[in-house]
Structure 1
Amino acid sequence: MRSRLGGSLVCTALLAAVIGSVGAPLITAVATGMGVSLDAAQWTLTIPLFTGAIAGPLLGRLGSGPYRRVTILITLAVVVFGGLLTVLPLPFWVLLVGRGLQGFGVAGGALLMSVARAHLPPERAASTIGALSVASTVGIGVGYPLISFVDQVAGLRAAYGLGFVLSAAALGIAWRALPVEEPGELPRVDTVGAVLLALGTSGVLLVVAEPEVWASPWWVGCVLAGAAVVLAGWVAVELRVPAPLVDLRVLGQGPVLRANAALLVAGVGLYLLFSLFTRFVQTPAGVDYGFALPGVAAGAALIPFSVLGFVAGKSLPSLIARVGERGAYALSTAIAVAAALLFAAANQSLVVVLAAIALLGFAVGGISAVMPRLVLAGVPQGETASVLSINQISRSIGFSMGSALAGLLLAAGGAPLPPEHDYVLAALWALPALAASALVVTANRTTATRDARPADRRQ
């Protein structure tokens, strides 16, 4: 059973990642096929981000012990139902509901990691958790060209139908592979904490995921202030209730806190570059830059991203053995910096841009693979899913901020098609975020070394 469990978990996570990538290649098709604006169609990509971030901590608490298998299966069943809603020829709002339900699949990744940590030997658990984290990177490169091809050949609903079929396959694999947990009491859920966290997170995500609202500073300030008040209330509740949704005392430990901060900041830089690269290669003909790649070809341009992300995940154990976990993280951020500089220096060549995309994939894969090791340092096994779900929120907010920042920087000049140097300047904006993320991790190492010395002397 254990020999197949790791592979089954990774396969389930990969399928979920492909399902999560369904929205991005279909935004234009949704707008034209369903008669809605591009801004409205963008919500087919945004709303799964909201539901995944909001549902993550709740699912993490429900799946923290004896009900882990049941929680994962119900979560995947919700994703299947959401996929069905996207296939049926129903109004646009039903499609949004379906996409929102599919966002639960993103939230389920933390539960799959907790299964690996609980049921696999330590070394296999660490490598499997890393592979589960990298699956999201590989899934993008698989999903984009595949979904684009199906949309081009068979239409919008068929493309969403592929997501439905994949979600059903993920549910079948999980049903057969997930181990039965030891019986125990139903975990207590802090309902008030769950509602407060959902409201606060939604406020933050609304601002960072929808840059159009930035045109009104007063509105942005009100939303962020309201979110801050709600999240402060959530912290107060979590510190007092006997069974908190998230154990903030664990989450506030130095290594966990710094790992989450590093991922949030790195996410801004990584997704800024990802958004720039994918948009650059699709720049239509008639300007003196870009390559006018159509949907399928633009999706295929992400294959190097996934391949190098997979390579990063596979090479991580040997890399950690040589330079340590924090060294591997710092090296991954340095490779992302190299991708940005390569793009800025020679973006007239498609080969060079594809090389930059590949380097970015390696960086994202390396950071994704090493992050669970950093964030789970010293975390009790029972808090695995809960802590990883908060890490997922950090990642989602960082990615949303990076995507929004890319749009803001490219739209700053007011032209429908920004000049080439705007892409170069936007890519350079990623460098401070990546450097800051690496510094946070380096500070983590310094603090850990300093804290370890008194213990060493006592021994």
Structure 2
Amino acid sequence: MGNADDRARRRLTRRPPRGATVAVLAFVGLCSAFMFTLVVPLQAELPELLNASREDTSWVVTITLLVAAVATPISGRLGDMYGKRRVVIALLIVLIIGSVVAALSTSIVGVIIGRGLQGATTGVVPLGIAIMRDVLPPARLGTSVALMSATMGVGGAIGMPVAAFLAQNADWHALFWLAAGLGAIGAVLVMAFVPDDVLLSPGRLDILGAIGLAIGLTGLLLYVSRGAEWGWVAPMSLASLIAGILVLLLWGWYQLKARDPLLDLRVAARPAVLFTNVAAICMGFALFSSNVTFPQLLELPVATGSGLGLDMFSAALVVATSGVVMMVISPLSGFLERTVGPRPLFTVGTAAIVLAYVFVLIWSTEVWHLLVANLIIGVGIGFSFAAMPMIIMRAVPSNETGASNGLNALFRSVGTSTASAVMGGVLASMSIQVGDIAVPTREAFQFCFWLAIVAGIIALVLTFFIPRHPHAEQHPALPG
């Protein structure tokens, strides 16, 4: 027993500087989020580049969302059981493999496989937050978690102009080689600067639960992401929706009976966790709504009556400002979380989202209008994404941190997938023919903004139902 204690003490004394640990985890979070916008600038050209139909090439984006949604809670559970650092490194290796597969592919099959593997790396963000909970003192935890949470928005926003620049000035395979390089750098840095886990939750991986969750989520997200294209009431769409719901209901029943469930649904049903996760769907919807609508509004020709005539790179720079704001305000988010608590911070964040879309609903005829709205969205998402993991960590036992944050990330993914499908469907259905292209009308964009306002209001209302002082087993790093 004494030897085991000595080994544990030696591991703790060899821990790297905490600042370096936070910086490395934030870097891998940025790399993970970048995978979502990596191919966005190429979407219009993918059918020609891959010699495939537009319906087939849309899977280059969809597959990443699907795999991310399924893999994130599973990787969180694996991290709680076998070590979060270990699983982060494994996910980065998967990212490298997927990027190399896509970079070496000239056909759509290889690119889709590679993009699917890239999506698995999304789990590094909730795992990074869980690592911070384990190793940081209370005074630094809020700010560090805010920074890590911000990477989910920052990586995608900043990555968009980088991807646009490469798409315009280099071979498209360079995007995937860049992703592979980032993954390799991240893996080396994690091995060097992230400490080994000292808090593990012994058990076994619920293989049947993981399979059930994967099948159920795939059916649900297929309906959300492909429904507009297939037809919302088409047999294929309804079959995916019904099958997904039925499988998830069976999965939930099984999880309540299982000895070592993939996710403890009793913990997930606590009011603080439940309301935060439902609000996370709305916040994911609000975040991705701007990523879908703003670039199109900025890039469409002025002659169409809807657009502002910017080129792809300039439009990406405007959209990237929200990510910069998220990163800059992360220290403020941490300070506010410590002084007023995460729930009021969440309320302010959701209110900012509503304000941003009301602003752009009224003023959206100049580039600076969208710039201002995007800056406010950055504040709203920055505060909200910082608050959500802190609310959850105050409400769950320490051995459920990785899985519970993974579940929260899953709900955000459902929101982003829904926004992608709904916004795309609205813009496609409310369009006019201008020459050879269908152009969304001004009314289509305004309807999209109304939908985002409704999502923001729902999230705002839900924040008032979150208990201020959730009762749970408290981790030493968290205040009571």
Aligned residue number for residue 313 of structure 1: 330
Alignment of 1:230-379 (within 5 A): 230-321=247-338, 323-379=340-396
* TM-superposition CA deviations, 1:31-89 (whole Å, max 9, x none): 22122233322222211111111112221121104432222211111110001011114
Contact 1:131–1:313 at 8 Å: present in 2 too? yes
Ranges in structure 2 where 5+ consecutive residues have no aligned partner: 1-15, 433-437, 473-480
1:100 corresponds to 2:116: yes
Equivalent position SS for 1:167: helix
Partner of 1:180: 196
Match of 1:441 among 463, 469, 472: 463
Give, as a single letter, the amino acid of the residue that structure 2 aligns with 1:406. Answer: M
Q: What's the secondary structure of 1:286's corresponding residue?
A: helix
- For 2:447 and 2:66, locate their aligned partners in 1 and report how far apart those are by CA, in whole Å: 29
Q: Which whole-Å deviations, capped at 9, do the CAs of 1:395-426 have from their partners, x for residues lacking one?
A: 01111111211112222335311221221222
* Aligned match of 2:408: 391
- Structure 2 counterpart SS, 1:292: coil
Find the aligned partners of 1:339 and 1:93 in 2 and give their Cα distance.
40
Correspondence list, 1:191-210, <5 A: 191-210=207-226
Alpha-carbon spacing, 1:185–1:124, altered in 2? closer, same or farther (3 Å): closer
More divergent stretch after superposition (329-338 vs 201-210): 329-338
SS of aligned partner of 1:155: coil
Q: Is the 8 A contact 2:289 2:419 kept in 1?
A: yes
Matching residue's letter, 2:450:
L
Match 2:448 to one of 421, 426, 441: 426
Number of paired residues? 450
Distance 1:421 1:58 in 2: 41
Would the aligned equivalents of 1:66 and 1:182 in 2 still touch at CA under 8 Å? Answer: no
Task: Please report the TM-score for the alignment, with normalisation by the length of structure 1.
Answer: 0.93
Cα separation, 1, equivalents of 2:278 and 2:199 = 36
Compared CA separation, residues 154 and 125, structure 1 to 2 (3 A)? same
Structure 1 counterpart of 2:266, which letter? R
- The 1:191/1:173 distance shift into structure 2, 3 A limit, reads same
Paired with 2:82 and 2:417, the residues of 1 have a C-alpha distance of: 34
Contact 1:86 1:95 in 2 (8 A): yes
The CA distance in 1 between the partners of 2:49 and 2:401, in whole Å, is: 42
Kindly indicate whether the alpha-carbon contact (under 8 Å) linking 2:431 and 2:441 is maintained by their aligned counterparts in 1: no
Match for 1:170 among 186, 189, 213? 186
Aligned pair 1:6/2:22, yes or no?
yes
Amino acid at match of 1:175: M
How far is the alpha carbon of 1:239 from its aligned partner? Answer: 1.0
Cα distance change on mapping 1:185 and 1:65 into 2, 3 Å: closer
Cα distance in 2 between the residues matched to 1:136 and 1:12: 10
Task: Report the TM-score when normalising by structure 2.
Answer: 0.89
Contact 1:29 1:156 in 2 (8 A): no
CA distance in 2, matches of 1:43, 1:217: 19
Given that 2:282 and 2:456 are in contact with CA atoms closer than 8 Å, whether structure 1 keeps it comes out as: yes
Does the aligned pair in 2 maintain the 1:2–1:120 contact within 8 Å? Answer: no
Give identity over the alignment, percent: 26
How far apart in 2 are the matches of 1:435 and 1:38? 35
Structure 1 unmatched ranges of 5 or more:
453-459
Q: Check the 8 A contact 1:259/1:374 in 2, yes or no.
A: yes
